Amino acid sequence: MGGNRGKAMTGQDIIIEAERLYDGTGAAPRHDVAVHLRDGRIVALGSPGDGGARPVLRVPVLAPGFVDLQINGAADAQFNDAPDVATLRTMAAGAARGGTSWLLPTFITAPGRAYASALDATRDAIAQEVPGILGLHLEGPFLSPRRPGIHPADAIRRPDAEDLARLCQAPPGAGLITLAPEEVGPEVVSRLAKAGWTVFAGHSEAGFDTLRGAAEAGLSGATHLYNAMSQMTPREPGLVGAALGGLVRHAGIIADGHHVHPANLSLAARTMPDRLCLVTDAMLTLEGTRDSFEIGGKRVFLRAGRLVDDAGTLGGAHLSMIEAVRNMIDLAGLRPEEAIRMATDTPARALGRDDIGRIAPGRRAGLVVLSRDLEVLGTLTDGTPVSGGAFEGLR
């Protein structure tokens, strides 16, 4: 398959029989389960051997396809560099090799209203049914100039009336926007949330009282927990404390072993077991051939698994979703079912989606086939093979 879209397995019943199945809820795995698919949906769960003459695929491990809320690029394609459908198609195919069934392509801070091209490209990709494109994540430009990270500081700004008029139209698909609440105020958070955006705080120096007001207005999460945000101190919980304490319900986290210390990965996982979302924050180096690229005039290099500029500032991550899952098991001490929930059901719930993220009747058939040691063998999106050779026998 090589990451290209395969023929949809529609118009017939397909059964995938799994030796071990993780359903995405965090429950212990079930053994010897048959998952029945029809026309891109999961229609039933049963026992192996009850499929009659219908096509059957037997696999070692089956889990829901991963849901990545934050991915900037993959397979040598970067959304900010070329915000168009071709880029999104390439990114989705690259992400699928790491088990991702659905993603929010992420457009970061750029001058003026450059984000408008990302809105248009995402709408077009969804209209063309590009597999995997669930919606859009806008990370900036409405951030704190005190916490720019790798974002171009000269393009960070506050929203104006034209921005709000444009953004308060319905987002394309599932819309997530990262902003600094102290820079925009609760009224902007409220308007965006009412327009259908999921609003996260990130690249923010907000204090707890500001965050409380933003949460009351509709703020529901934090972007890349611990990184580029106000920290927890004795008399100021900051955005880290607001997330760990539950004022801000969900949080994404980059579990690449570079962005967050393993002890802090473990702390977040134990404190917010059903609220933490694994994200990749991947750049074009993921499943790509390039080892450097530019962001806002800064050159970023892939060095020993880290993406850094000349000053050592992290510039995204070289990480797939399955690697994030394995890292949470190996570095944070989680059970596989706990880590898989953070890559499936939890990000789906963070977006308010009840049609993806679990293996259950009625859900869309996004599935990842894994080996016993959790290597990706194949990925399905809406019943369509999008990566791996695991489905060859069903075509």
In the annotated binding site, the residues are 139, 150, 203, 224, 227-228, 235, 259, 314-316
CA distance 118 to 204: 23
- Please state whether the peptide bond connecting residue 141 to the residue before it is cis, i.e. omega within 30 degrees of 0: yes
Query: What angle, 0 to 180 degrees and rounded to 10, lies between the N-to-C axes of helices 115-127 and 85-96?
Result: 70
d(CA 42, CA 181) in angstroms, rounded, equals 39
Cα 113 from Cα 93, distance rounded (Å): 28
Q: Cα separation of 248 and 243, whole Å? A: 5
Active site residue 163: no
CA distances from 281 to 69, 165, 284, 312 (A): 8, 28, 10, 17
Residue 202 near residue 235, CB atoms below 8 Å: no
d(CA 70, CA 223): 9
Backbone angles phi, psi at 101, to 5 degrees: -90, -35
State the binding site for substrate: 150, 227-228, 235, 259, 314-316
Please state the residue numbers annotated as binding site for Zn(2+).
139, 203, 224
Out of 256, 281, 345, 382, the active site residue is 281
Q: Find all residues with CB under 8 Å of 98, minimum gap 6, and list them.
A: 66, 280, 286, 287, 320, 321, 322, 323, 376
DSSP symbols for 235-301: TB-HHHHHHHHTSS-EEEEE-SSSSS-HHHHHHHHHH-TTTEEEE--B-TTTTSS-SEEEETTEEEE
* Catalytic (active-site) positions: 281
